[in-house]
Structures are given as C-alpha cells and as structure tokens.
Structure 1
Amino acid sequence: MAQDFSSGGPLWYVDATKISAIHDAGTTGEGVTIAVFDGGMYPEISNLQGADIEVRDLAQCPDPTAPAPTAFAALQHGTSVTSLIVGNGTSDNGSGPVGIAPDARILYYGALQTDCDVDAFPVALADAVAQGADIVSMSGGYRRLDDELSQPAAAAVADALRAGVLVVASLPNADSVWENELGDINGVVNVAAVDAMAQAAKKRDGSDMANDDVDVVAPGVDVAGLGWDGTWGMSAWSGSSAATPIVAGVLALGVQKWPDATASQLLQSLIRNTGSTPHELEWSNRFGHGIVNATRLVEEDPSQYADENPLFTDGQVPTFDEVYAPTDPSSTDGPEPDGDGAPAVLPWILVGGGAVVVAAIVIVAVSRRKSGGREDV
C-alpha cells in the first residue's frame, strides 16, 4: 500500500518526491532554461526572490505582471506554477512552495491570458526556442485554441521538438470547461495529477479522473500554492496545472544531470522509470505510464534507451516524419498518443526513491496504445 504523505500539509510533495536529497547532492536545475506559459504572475513575492526569472514581452498579450498585487484571481495560477519550479520555500506567512528545480532559469510568457491574440501560443513557443529553452511547461489552455490553433500549434510544437525542446502540458481537469490544444498534438508530455496517497485526482462525483491522452502523473492534489486564499501566504491548490510544473522541474534535474542525453532519451527514461522498480512500459487512462520518479530519473543513465520519442500516435499531428524527415521537417500533420498497461508499483513506497513529476516534451517513435488502457486499473 502506498505511503500517505498528507500529514505534510501543502508541502507533502517535497517528502513524496525525495527532492531535498536530490538538491543536497547538487542537482538543482542549474544551467537549464524552462519556459513557463501561463496567465498573470506576481514576481515580487518573497517566494520568488533570488530566482532567475525573465518576463518575455509578447505583442499579442498584455503584460502578465501588470495586475495589482491584490488581483489574486489574475495572478494566483501563474505565480503558483512558477513557485513549484523555482520557489525558495518562503511566503508572507512563513513557509512556502519549494521549487523542484530552484536554480533553473525561467522565461515567463503570459500567453494564456484571456486577452491574448489567437496566435499568441505559436509566437511564444517560437520565441522560447529562439531564447534557448530546454523545456516548456504549460498549465492550461483555451477552448478556442483546440479548433483555431490546431495547425499553427502543431507546427510550432514540431519546430520545438526538432530543436530538442521538451514540451510538457497539463490535461484538463475533468470538470474544466477548457480544452488543452496540446492534448492532441504528438510529442507533448500530457500530465495529470495524483494525491498524497498516490491515488488519481477525483472528479466532483468522487470518481477517478481518466483521460485517453495521459502520459504521466505527478503530485497535484492539495499542493503548495500562493494567492488561493486571498493572501501571498502559502495555501493549497489542486489539479493537473499543479502537477505539470513539478514534472517540468524534475525533467530539468534530468537535463542537468545528463547533459549529453537527447530529449528523446530523457523522455524514454521518464516513462520507463516510474514506480519503484524497473518494469516494462505500461499504460492506463488514470496513471498513464505511471507516477514520475525523480530519484530514478536522476540515477538512471538515459543513454541506455533508444533515441526515439515514445509519444507519437497515428492520427495526430505532427507525424514523426514531419518532425524528423531530413527532406521536409516543417510539415505539421500527424498522429495521436496511445499506450497500454498501468503503473507497475506506485512510487511513494520506494525506499530512498521519490516519485516526482517531470515533464518535458520530446519526440519518440515508440507508439503508445492509449486506446488499450484499462478502466479498472
């Protein structure tokens, strides 16, 4: 049975992922650049002091830092996402979110604000690639993008993957009204949430969240956030939006630890080293390939794995050849994700190993049969 970490309050994910030991060993995300796509963000809070954050100006969007500090509804989401990557552990009421990759460089894009132009996402992604981003973390989306931006978004993702950028995106919470435009795009790591007992996040009716596009899961229920209680003290929030930056942060640790590994090899390692012991690739629509394990991702040499992105599926865009074909890599029509199995062993029970969330996107040829996932796992 999985260990219950809920007694740790909103910081339970720190103990569950064993992230402190990884930081103490010198792996902190130093030298890694993460582009965060979100809404408004308040960079002046105590939790983000000392962090390397550059807010990128987009002509297609308002300044994400413009809202007043008391505009919590506009600022809480993006601020909380950023804090889970590079937060320093403080807040206005004492303790605060602890970042998974505190020494990573953040490029912040307010590309998910409601007042952005429809082409904000492709423009922001192209800029992130040009600025040297290693990982893109996107928690959220618009319903409009699912239809209006499918091709431009796919083309932008194809360019990012071709450049070796890892792209991580949150799946919609089951009760959300929005759809993530990246959920149906190949090569992206789609993230869902689990709680302190390593159980899938719940719908309002008490049933487990399930999604045919889930790739991995990470801590995302009642984790540390900022602004959710109307103050800049630590509060708790939940959802795939919270799990996604944890995945991105963990992946940043892998990028730092294994600088010679390709993005695809890191992604192979991410999905093959879930749980507490090595196991064959498995998949379910509740856990994807399993709960990401930060300790094993850092310890296992990714060069042992094929240099192929495992997150391509027939029927979704872009196709593998459109991304990697030497003759015409700029096309953007293609496949859809899939996979099979269920998490072998839930990672919290791992002695000395943490289950964390890392996510970055990469391109791999190994097809995942998501349609083969089982509802009963």
Structure 2
Amino acid sequence: MVCVLGVVLVPSAAVAQDFSAGGPLWYVDAMKIQAIHDAGITGEGVTIAVLDAGISPDVATLRGADIEVRQLAQCPDPVASVPTAFEASSHGTSVTSLIVGNGSSDSGSGPVGIAPGARILYYGALQASCDGNAFPAAVADAIAEGADIVSMSGGNTRLADELSQPAADAVAEALRGGVLVVAGLPNADSVWEGELGEVNGVVNVASVDAMAHAATRRDGSPMTNDDVDIVAPGVDLAGLGWDRTWGMSTWSGNSAATPIVAGLLALAKEKWPDATASQLLQSLIRNTGSTPHELEWTRTFGHGIANATRLVQEDPAQYPDENPLFTDGQSPTFDEVYSAPEPSASEAPNAQANAGPGVLPWALAGGGAVVVVVAVTLILVIRRRRGRGVATGSRDMLG
C-alpha cells in the first residue's frame, strides 16, 4: 500500500543505484544509518517536537522510546482511544516511528528510527477538531519545554488560509530561540496546502524514492515546488497502520521524508553540540550528495538529497553562522527574526548603547540565555538559488 492523505505516488524510472530490494527499510541502507548508530550517534540529548494528528504510543515500534504526549487546550487528546484507531493515528505513529522506532512491529520487523535516542514531545496539533490556534500554541509550548527541533508533516487549507501570520510569528519565535523548524511540503494532487511552505527560515522537505528519483505526480512527472529546500527518502518507507494492522506496512509522501530530515538534524546536533542552529542548516544544505559542491538549487531537488554520513562528518563550525533559508517577499523577514529589540526606556544608558540596531542576540537552542551578539552588517542571507540543473552529487544518498 502506497498512500498518504489520499495521494498515490508513482516511482520513476531507475537511473541510480536501486535500494528497493531492502523493502520498506531501504532508507536505512541508502543513508548508512546503522553505521552512524554503531558509532554511538543516536540523537541522544536532542529534543524533537512532533506536530501531527493522533498517535498510538503503545505500539511495539515505540516501546522504550522517550515520548511525552503534550496536551493542548485547542485540541482533543491525540492518543488513540482504541488500539484499532488506524485512520486517526497511523500518520502520527508512522512519523514518530521514523524518528525513534526500535525496528520492531506486530509482524516482526518495523520502522527503524533515524534518531532513536532523541526525546519526543508529541502534539496532536493537526487533528481536524483542533481550533485555529493549535499550531502557535504547540510551538510555544515546545520552545518552553526545551525543543531543539520542531517537525510537522502535514497541514490543511484552514491553517493555510487563517493562520499564515500567527504561523510566521510562531516560527520567528522558534528561530529566535535557536529551534530548527522542519515541515513537509504538500504532495502532488494533495487537498491541503502547506501552512509553512512560504514561511521564512523553515526547512521545507520533499521526497525521493529508492533510486534517488523525485516522487512523481499521478501523470508520472516529477514533483516540483518553488519552496523546496531539501529532499530525503519518502517513497515506500516503513510505516504502521496503513494496512489496518500494527505490523510494518509501506507509505509514501513528503510526510514520510520530513521526520527523516528532523532525525538527521538531531544526529548532527548530538555530534556537534556547539554548532548553532544556523550552522546546522548550512551543513544540511551544503552536504547533499557524496562530494563537496557549490550551493545550487532546483524546483525538484531543492539543494539536493540529504546525506546522513556527510552531515555528521562535516564540522558545522566551518560554515557561516547565518540562517540560509530566507527569501525576499516572505515572512517573517530576516530582520524581524534576528534584529535586536528596541531598548526600553527603563534600561540603563550603557545597556541601550550595547543593544542598538547594530547587534543581534543569539540564544542557545531550547533556552533563553543570550550568549553572543553579531553585527548586522556581517549577516549575508543566502537566497534560494533558482538556477537550472541539480547540484553536483545531489542524487546520491550515500556518503
């Protein structure tokens, strides 16, 4: 079964190494995840907030995982009321399993999480019965609870139409706190619009199959999107509940690729704890493919296919401490996120002198302590490349 949100994705013709023989776990081999785990890098010490619909946290795949379900006043309880609530909880359970799954299921093998050592804060913010403030509320709570990464696989037209500015404000607050925000782009022919697709600073994720081909529309043409930043495995991946059992089944879509990227960022953050959020983003988009290359961008692959091995091997400190995912004409603007606040009248004169518009506050991820200031004049925003062609090596998932 290959279906998510009612969209069937058709893999394209093979032109690269084919990992599909690995079945639903092909992404583990393609990205050499086991070798990274064997080296002791599992995402331990990193907190990921997952925003989705319902979840069944007691399934075999999630046993032993560090998952805290956070209740929102704007939403009902996301924990499935009955074990067979597949329609309500298969999406959220599958997403979470791709981050912290232990490799088991009711049928034996199951989803292997990219960052099984990570802590999960789970929010049912995408349930249909949530009110319009669920997303900003979830992000605010995640920041307060120490999240390093926010991952959201999904959305709907109600959120896109009514919450664009509150969503942008919530993302801006997260970015100011050093929190990375990862979101799935809409699938082709989808009935929903990406709430965060045009919000600046967000890592917008699309998907590829086991042959490094972009997921396709129903007519066989590759998916394209003006806002794609990175692509990752997302076609025929291990999931749960899609065949109406809690055994391993397959599912596809940008929703599946999004937790893969969130998990990879968790691995990189554990490996390089002193890197800033902006440096981790720089490393994510610069280390696509198997060899170093200049930044390039296409509407199909964004900056390329995320490469797990290179992401954990390359020290992010070599990259600028500048968020590279800002585009002109979208909100929040770079200055709205990173400019220093205007000093209040009650501040001492020397504090006012040191906190004017020429400096930026940078905060530790998940905390509120300002640690360093950087001159605005030194900030160079890397605009998305609208050039032609795919970045060198961008269709190679291996290190």
Give TM-score, length-normalised by structure 1. Answer: 0.90
Q: What secondary structure sits across from 2:35 in the alignment?
A: helix
1:338 maps to 384
1:211 maps to 225
* Closer, same or farther: CA 347–300 of 1 in aligned 2, 3 Å: farther
Distance (whole Å) between structure 2 residues aligned to residue 57 and residue 237 of structure 1: 27
Q: Which of 211, 216, 225 is equivalent to 1:202?
A: 216
Q: Which of 123, 128, 149 is equivalent to 1:109?
A: 123
1:88 maps to 102
Task: Report the alpha carbon displacement of residue 336 of structure 1 after superposing the two structures with TM.
Answer: 12
Distance (whole Å) between structure 2 residues aligned to residue 337 and residue 122 of structure 1: 26
Q: What secondary structure sits across from 1:225 in the alignment?
A: strand
Q: Deviations over 1:144-195 (max 9, x none)?
A: 1112111111111000000000000000001101011100100000000000
1:171 maps to 185
2:262 maps to 248
Distance (whole Å) between structure 2 residues aligned to residue 188 and residue 86 of structure 1: 22
Q: What secondary structure sits across from 1:221 in the alignment?
A: coil
2:55 maps to 41
Q: Which of 271, 285, 296 is equivalent to 2:299?
A: 285
Distance (whole Å) between structure 2 residues aligned to residue 142 and residue 7 of structure 1: 34
Conserved in 1, the CA contact under 8 Å of 2:160 and 2:193?
A: yes
Q: Deviations over 1:241-288 (max 9, x none)?
A: 000000000000000000000000000000000001000000000000
Q: What secondary structure sits across from 2:29 in the alignment?
A: helix
Q: What secondary structure sits across from 1:326 in the alignment?
A: coil
Given residue 343 of structure 1, which amino acid in structure 2 is its aligned partner? A
Answer yes or no: is 1:264 the counterpart of 2:278.
yes
1:13 maps to 27
1:160 maps to 174
* Closer, same or farther: CA 336–343 of 1 in aligned 2, 3 Å: closer
Identity, % of aligned positions: 76
Distance (whole Å) between structure 2 residues aligned to residue 226 and residue 30 of structure 1: 24
**Rg comparison, structure with higher value:** 2
Distance (whole Å) between structure 1 residues aligned to residue 281 and residue 29 of structure 2: 24
Distance (whole Å) between structure 2 residues aligned to residue 272 and residue 337 of structure 1: 14
Distance (whole Å) between structure 2 residues aligned to residue 228 and residue 73 of structure 1: 8
Task: Report the alpha carbon displacement of residue 347 of structure 1 after superposing the two structures with TM.
Answer: 5.1
Given residue 340 of structure 1, which amino acid in structure 2 is its aligned partner? R
Conserved in 2, the CA contact under 8 Å of 1:95 and 1:234?
A: yes
Count of matched residue positions in the alignment of Structure 1 and Structure 2: 347
1:234 maps to 248
Unpaired segments of 5 or more residues in structure 2? 1-14, 343-359, 362-380
1:190 maps to 204
* Closer, same or farther: CA 178–349 of 1 in aligned 2, 3 Å: closer
Runs of 4+ in 1 over 6 A off after TM superposition: none
Distance (whole Å) between structure 2 residues aligned to residue 349 and residue 63 of structure 1: 38
Answer yes or no: is 1:26 the counterpart of 2:72.
no
Given residue 45 of structure 2, which amino acid in structure 1 is its aligned partner? G
Conserved in 2, the CA contact under 8 Å of 1:193 and 1:239?
A: yes
